[in-house]
Amino acid sequence: MANLGFIGLGTMGGQMVNRLLSKGHSVTGYNRTRAKAQWLIDKGMKWADSPRAVGAAADVIFAMVTNSAALTAIMEGPDGLLAGIGKGKIFSDISTVSPTVSRGFAAKVREKGAEMVDSPVSGSVITLQEGKLSVMVAGRRETFEKLKPILQDIGPKVTYVGDNGLALAMKIAVNLNLAVQMMAFSEGVLLAEKSGIARETAVEVFTHSAVASPMIQYRGPFVLHQPEEAWFDVNMMQKDMLLAMELGRQLDVPLPTTTISNEFLTAARGMGLAKLDFACMFDVLAKLSGIDTGATK
Which of 86-100, 135-149, 188-202, 220-234 has the least mean pLDDT? 220-234
Between CA 283 and CA 233 the distance in angstroms is 14
pTM, whole model, 2 decimals?
0.89
Contact 46, 29 (CB under 8 A): yes
Instruction: Give me the mean pLDDT over the 12-28 stretch.
Output: 95
Contacts of 151 (CB under 8 A, 6+ apart): 92, 119, 135, 137, 158
pLDDT at 296: 59
Give the tens place of pLDDT for each residue, 226-241: 988 888 899 999 999 9
Average predicted confidence (pLDDT) for the chain = 94
Residue, of 297 and 243, whose pLDDT is higher: 243
Helix or strand holding residue 93 (H, E): strand 90-93
Give the tens place of pLDDT for each residue, 24-56: 999 999 999 999 999 999 999 999 999 999 999
pLDDT at residue 126 tops 60: yes
Between CA 157 and CA 136 the distance in angstroms is 8
Superfamily the domain 169-288 falls into:
N-(1-d-carboxylethyl)-l-norvaline Dehydrogenase; domain 2 (1.10.1040.10)
Q: Within a 13 Å sphere around the CA of 44, how many CA atoms are in the beta-carbon half?
A: 12
pLDDT at residue 297 tops 60: no
Domain ranges of the chain: 3-163, 169-288
Contact 10, 33 (CB under 8 A): no
pLDDT at 11: 86
pLDDT at residue 198 tops 60: yes
Residue, of 220 and 229, whose pLDDT is higher: 220
End-to-end Cα distance, the chain = 52
Contact 202, 224 (CB under 8 A): no
Start-end of H helices in the chain = 11-22, 38-42, 51-57, 68-75, 81-84, 99-111, 125-129, 141-151, 166-194, 199-206, 214-219, 234-251, 256-270, 281-288
Q: Thinking of the domain 3-163, which architecture would CATH place it in?
A: 3-Layer(aba) Sandwich (3.40)
pLDDT at 229: 85
Contact 94, 119 (CB under 8 A): yes
Contacts of 4 (CB under 8 A, 6+ apart): 20, 25, 26, 27, 28, 58, 59, 60, 61, 62, 150
Phi, psi (5° rounding) for residue 123?
145, 180
pLDDT at 291: 93
Contact 115, 141 (CB under 8 A): no
Contact 27, 46 (CB under 8 A): yes
Contact 226, 250 (CB under 8 A): no
Classified as helix, coil or strand, 27 is strand
Contacts of 160 (CB under 8 A, 6+ apart): 137, 138, 141, 144
CA nearest neighbour of 70 among 136, 160, 9: 9
pLDDT at 230: 87
